């Protein structure tokens, strides 16, 4: 083994691995250096793991204007945060989210009611708002750190849009889900119709759920592949999600971001295009020290440590 690992070192000679130094920023951020949000709580419960909690428990975590803006800011900033390698997204209080804040529907109604604005202009304003909100729910996908949605209680309407853009979904036994938009007289427009069918890989069932707004519960969600694990209660759910996030965070952050970039890209492209994408990506990323570091650790049966991004 020693011979092999020294061979690996020689192959990559010129690339010297430096053990990561304890970083001052980490301590500062772990002790509360995060931005204060009105609708979100950002916590750092484990090394390199960030937990983002939707924090409007008194309104059942309904998604209002501030939420749409903050969720995007939050994921955009975690995307470039060297101390973050994996994210858990959860809800405060009794449930994950009640979906769109129905009081905020007033903004859209007000746009429609303005007698001085013609139809085309109203349509453009509504479109601008929708594009903004769509970008908010695409932010967890664009952020190349894996996001684990941890759902307890209800996950309604906009909640399905949001968690469909996450990498991994876990839930507790009391979780239930509903693609609610049809009951509100609208076609879901923030990602559910684009991502959910691909996540579950069952077009017929996706259509049934979207056309009927039939609620489905934890066991069915697991059976259809919308969630990959069901936990007995919320505490065990969060613990399980943090455990997986920690495991991901222990891997090379270069390898993890490349894996996410390739999975997201390949979902929407041909195999050939996907292979080309990862080929181009890895022609740069294979030059990372993480490769030598991981290979040497494997040979020496040690746990590798990777320096911060």
> What residues contact 52, with CB distance under 8 A and at least 6 apart?
40, 41, 42, 74, 75, 78, 87, 88, 89, 90
Is 84 near ligand LTDHYY67 (CB under 6 A)?
Answer: no
Q: How far is the CB of 305 from ligand LTDHYY67 (least distance, A)?
A: 42
Which residue, 191 or 240, has its beta carbon nearer to ligand LTDHYY67? Answer: 191
Per-residue DSSP letter, 172: E
Among 62, 165, 221, 249, binds ligand LTDHYY67 (CB under 6 A): 62
* Contact window for ligand LTDHYY67 (CB under 6 A) among 38-46, 57-65, 245-253, 298-306: 57-65
Among 91, 157, 191, 197, contact with ligand LTDHYY67 (rule: CB under 6 A): 157
CA atoms within 13 A of residue 270's CA, in its CB half-sphere:
3
Residues in 173-202 at the binding interface with ligand LTDHYY67, rule: CB under 6 A: 180-181, 184, 189-190
Nearer to ligand LTDHYY67, 146 or 158 (CB): 158
CB of 62 to ligand LTDHYY67, least distance (A): 4
3-state class (DSSP) for residue 26 = helix
**DSSP state for residue 17 in the 8-state scheme:** -
107 is an interface residue for ligand LTDHYY67 by CB under 6 A: no
Of the candidates 37, 62, 68, the residue with the CA atom closest to the CA atom of residue 50: 37
- Cβ contacts of residue 21 below 8 Å, gap of 6+? none
Per-state percent for the chain, helix, strand, coil, to nearest 5: 55, 15, 35
Choosing from 101, 141, 167, 290, the residue that interacts with ligand LTDHYY67 (CB under 6 A) is: 101
Nearest to 57 by CA among 77, 82, 40, 45: 40
Q: Confirm or reject binding of residue 56 to ligand LTDHYY67 (CB under 6 A).
A: no
User: Per CB under 6 A, does 289 bind ligand LTDHYY67?
Assistant: no
- Contacts with ligand LTDHYY67: how many residues (CB under 6 A)? 19
Binding positions for ligand LTDHYY67, rule: CB under 6 A: 59-60, 62, 98-103, 108, 154, 156-158, 180-181, 184, 189-190
């Amino acid at each position: 083994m020693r011979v092999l690992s020294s061979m690996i070192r020689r192959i990559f000679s010129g690339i010297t691995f430096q053990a990561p130094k304890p970083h001052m920023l980490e301590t500062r951020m772990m002790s509360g250096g995060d931005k204060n949000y009105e609708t979100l709580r950002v916590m750092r419960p484990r090394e390199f793991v960030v937990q983002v909690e939707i924090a409007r428990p008194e309104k059942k975590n309904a998604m209002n204007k501030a939420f749409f803006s903050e969720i995007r800011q939050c994921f955009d900033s975690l995307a470039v945060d060297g101390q973050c390698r994996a994210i858990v997204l959860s809800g405060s209080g009794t449930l994950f989210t009640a979906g769109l804040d129905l009081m905020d529907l007033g903004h859209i109604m007000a746009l429609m009611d303005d007698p001085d604005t013609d139809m085309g202009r109203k349509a453009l304003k509504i479109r601008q708002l929708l594009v903004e909100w769509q970008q908010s729910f695409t932010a967890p996908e664009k952020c190349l750190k894996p996001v684990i949605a941890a759902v307890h209680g209800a996950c309604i309407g906009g909640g399905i849009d949001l968690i469909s853009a996450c990498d991994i979904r876990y839930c507790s036994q009391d979780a239930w889900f509903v693609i609610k938009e049809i009951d509100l007289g609208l076609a879901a427009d923030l990602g559910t119709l684009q991502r959910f069918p691909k996540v579950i890989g069952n077009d017929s069932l996706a259509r049934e759920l979207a056309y009927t707004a039939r609620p489905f519960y934890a066991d069915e969600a697991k059976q259809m592949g919308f969630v990959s694990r069901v936990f007995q209660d919320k505490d065990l759910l969060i613990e399980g999600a943090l455990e997986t996030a920690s495991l991901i965070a222990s891997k090379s952050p270069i390898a993890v971001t490349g894996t996410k970039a390739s999975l997201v890209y390949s979902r929407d492209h041909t195999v050939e295009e996907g292979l080309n994408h990862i080929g181009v990506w890895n022609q740069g990323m294979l030059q990372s020290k993480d490769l030598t570091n991981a290979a040497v650790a494997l040979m020496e049966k040690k746990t590798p440590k990777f320096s911060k991004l």
